[in-house]
Structure 1
Amino acid sequence: MASSSFSFFQILSATTTLLLLLEAHQASSCFSAIFSFGDSLQDTGNAAHMFVNSALSNPPYGTTYFHKATGRYCDGRIILDFIGAKTFVVPGNLPIGCIPAWLGQYRSDKPSDYDRNGCLIWMNNFSEYHNSHLQTELDRLKGQFPSVTIAYADYLNSGIRMFSNQAQFGITVPFTACCGGNGYPCNATGPVCPNPLNHASWEGFHPTEATYHAISDGIIRGPYAIPFLSQKC
């Protein structure tokens, strides 16, 4: 039946990335298992099987923390086992106004279109608009499922913090892709920058390890911390 609001499973499929944490059976702050799934921003091992004989079927795509895919695709839908799920972490959108591909496509001659970090203001405002609606839906779900912990991960402001304090995270090249460029694709034959750790973007769309580190630092340690993520076993 049609509805003006998202269902629980629509929220899961609509988010860029979602971490599903299963509560530990023992009385501790540990989690017995972690299921992580999403799109190409967080490759869960499925891309290598979905895009055979393409750049996405070659390393590093398909490599996961668990050395195998964490879910399987069927007719475009992710099939996962939700039995025992008690804790969800749902991230908001990244500061897309800082992504090199969009900075190039929507280049403006007006200085007022950019913030002090060099990011497009209107695109980051769009991310903020998306995230505000996402949080509204998450609040609704919290009321609908009071026994489940649903936490929002503020990727937007954690990412903006990184662009505002680039030196703190060792980033000296925030808006130039590390891989490919100048007409070359990002694949096995494409050029790669000598030091990916000082770049914020891998190939113009996807963050580098340095960016992920900076964003996760803000989510785990603060100032955008989710308390239970910093708990130790």
Structure 2
Amino acid sequence: MVQSVDRALTIIKIVSSRKEGIGVTELANKLGLNKSSIFRLLETLAAHGFIEQNKENKKYKLGYQFLELSTKLLESIDIRQEAIPYLRQLEEISNEVIHLVIYSQKEAVYIEKLEGSETLRMHSQVGRRAPIHCTSAGKVILAQLSVTEVKEIVQQRGLPRHTEKTLTTEKELLENLSMIRTQGYGIEREENEPGITCIAAPIFNHLGEVAGAISISGTSLRMNDEKIASIKDTLIEVGKKVSERLGYRG
């Protein structure tokens, strides 16, 4: 490693852990360096906007350059690219259809679909809107929204019946969303397509807002209680890992 770069990065890490700031003397003691060396490193970091000095107490804190860079990083994150390795992991352990859904402008949209190794015909297609009230992915997204926002979506789009098991009243839907929110995942049993059962977990962005969901879909015969119990923890963990890749720190 380049020693000076290593020291500068170490200083950044120490400064970032001290909300109230830190002085040159304390930094020198922590790193075992003389104050003149620490001061030169701090001045260099300050020149690039990574460190700032409080003129009143002379302590150093992180500079706004980090905020600018983090914003650029978050803007460049591709949720599909970040999620794909985890989607393949789910496909491998379940052998079922895997969906990646994003939440955009009050709609749930399929942006990735892995077919799995089992035979299954589904209406879902990449680029199409997922029925938000009767798919596991859609309901997991709704469960993270306020009741007011859910009611607005229901008022705008209604609760059209897709099968005999579709929840078609606001009361039923809100009760189901409450349960999903509590348990951290959602299950949809033949509410969207006859003979199809799905389970989904939410994805969150760096602001703590729901960004989408990941779901596993299969025939109701295969996706029984036993199989759901065996894969739900892995699905929830994958949702957390993708959320972390998007900057979520909940």
**Max Rg structure:** 2
Give yes or no for TM over 0.5: no
Q: Which has the higher helix share?
A: 2
State the TM-score, normalizing by the size of structure 1: 0.24
